[in-house]
Structure 1
């Protein structure tokens, strides 16, 4: 796995968006879509509490890209995200033909942390992206961001299950 300085910059933006989601009372997830030329095209954060449980930023990116980019532009793009895609978002990514995925922390990591914090399991199985989209190009987790992202999720867990 080769994470470049540009990858880290975009991942840090995804983590900033996750922090914004947390500040708005939502689960801390954020994502950025970057063109093959390195231009940020679209970004979003979770809107689960505000709207509905399917309002994940990775799904918003897939919808946006599917409506606005050509198949070649989609396959050349990279999705940077604070957390590995859930199965719903991975499937959307695969269906619209987006390119590389780079995530800061993995679903298995998050699941272990949430269990340790006493959070109930989610309603959907925790699956690696490649199990949902076998041909996906995936890189992560990125250890440089683990502590920061873990802190965001721990802060959210405390709002759900106060100590």
Structure 2
């Protein structure tokens, strides 16, 4: 599916959250949960700087949705994110029955950038979302945002 102008508005907010995370000393990732009516119900950014590597915004969305949405509301929701879900977050998304995922850059793109910058591989394989949660509708990447997100990750790589 082609990303819509509305999708890009939400993804740009995810990039803002990713920038905020980086400015606060975290890795540059940000995500939104948008309900079926188009209202942002929850947003978060990466919060791993204190040592809990599971503090991904996509996992926080899954947790928040469990406490605040019905199964029907979760199924109608869309998760927008600056980077494709890691396997941990994809599994949480699938277990919670959340709807569509739209991401700005893929795990494969991020892995290629990290390799080009001579950074070590992450501790988890960069699998595509549907390799972990095959029933989830997924759209992305958004070429319009790739350069901006690459710059954020390159800035983060310079801190490593």
Q: TM-score range by the shorter chain?
A: over 0.9
Q: Measure, in 1, the Cα distance between the counterparts of 2:11 and 2:131.
A: 23
| SS class of match (1:31) | strand
- Residue in 2 that maps onto 1:75: 75
Q: Measure, in 1, the Cα distance between the counterparts of 2:85 and 2:6.
A: 20
- Residue in 2 that maps onto 1:89: 89
- Residue in 1 that maps onto 2:150: 150
- Residue in 2 that maps onto 1:110: 110
Q: Measure, in 1, the Cα distance between the counterparts of 2:50 and 2:42.
A: 20
Runs ≥4 residues deviating over 6 A: none
Q: Measure, in 2, the Cα distance between the counterparts of 1:111 and 1:104.
A: 14
Output one character per residue of 1:63-120: Cα deviation in whole Å (capped at 9) or x when no partner: 0001110001000000000000000000000000000000000000000000110111
Q: Measure, in 2, the Cα distance between the counterparts of 1:73 and 1:101.
A: 15
Q: How does 1:1-163 map to 2 (within 5 A)?
A: 1-160=1-160
Aligned alpha-carbon RMSD (Å): 0.7
- When normalised by structure 2's length, the TM-score is 0.98
Q: Measure, in 2, the Cα distance between the counterparts of 1:142 and 1:6.
A: 12
Output one character per residue of 1:24-80: Cα deviation in whole Å (capped at 9) or x when no partner: 111000000000100000000000113510000000000000111000100000000
Task: Kindly tell me the number of residue pairs found equivalent between the two proteins.
Answer: 160
| SS class of match (1:33) | strand
Unaligned runs of 5+ in 2: none
| SS class of match (2:31) | strand
Unaligned runs of 5+ in 1: none
Deviates more, 1:45-54 or 1:129-138: 45-54
- When normalised by structure 1's length, the TM-score is 0.97
